[in-house]
C-alpha cells in the first residue's frame, strides 16, 4: 500500500516533520507555536516551518 503524499500548501504555513507535511496554519505565529510545542515533546524530530508565499523553510530549534 502506498501512502498519499500531502502537497505543499498554496497559502499560509505548514509544519514539516522529518520531511513530511503534518499540519497547516494560516499565520506564522500559529505555525511557530505548534512547532515549538512539538519540539519540546519530541526534541529528536526535525521540524521546519514552510512558508507558502516565499516557498522557503525555516528550521525550528529550541532556545
| 6 — pLDDT class (breaks 50, 70, 90) | confident
Whole-model pTM: value is: 0.84
More confident residue, 8 or 32: 32
pLDDT at residue 49 is higher than 90: yes
Which string of b and e fits 32-63 if b means at least 16 CB within 10 Å? Answer: bebbeebbeeeeeeebbbbbeeeeeebebeee
Report, as an integer, the average pLDDT of 41-48: 95
14, pLDDT greater than 80: yes
d(CA 34, CA 14) in angstroms, rounded, equals 10
Amino acid at each position: 500500500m502506498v501512502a498519499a503524499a500531502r502537497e505543499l500548501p498554496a497559502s499560509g504555513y505548514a509544519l514539516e516533520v522529518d520531511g513530511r507535511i503534518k499540519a497547516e496554519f494560516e499565520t506564522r505565529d500559529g505555525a511557530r507555536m505548534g512547532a515549538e510545542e512539538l519540539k519540546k515533546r519530541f526534541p529528536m524530530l526535525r521540524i521546519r516551518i514552510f512558508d507558502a508565499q516565499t516557498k522557503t523553510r525555516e528550521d525550528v530549534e529550541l532556545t
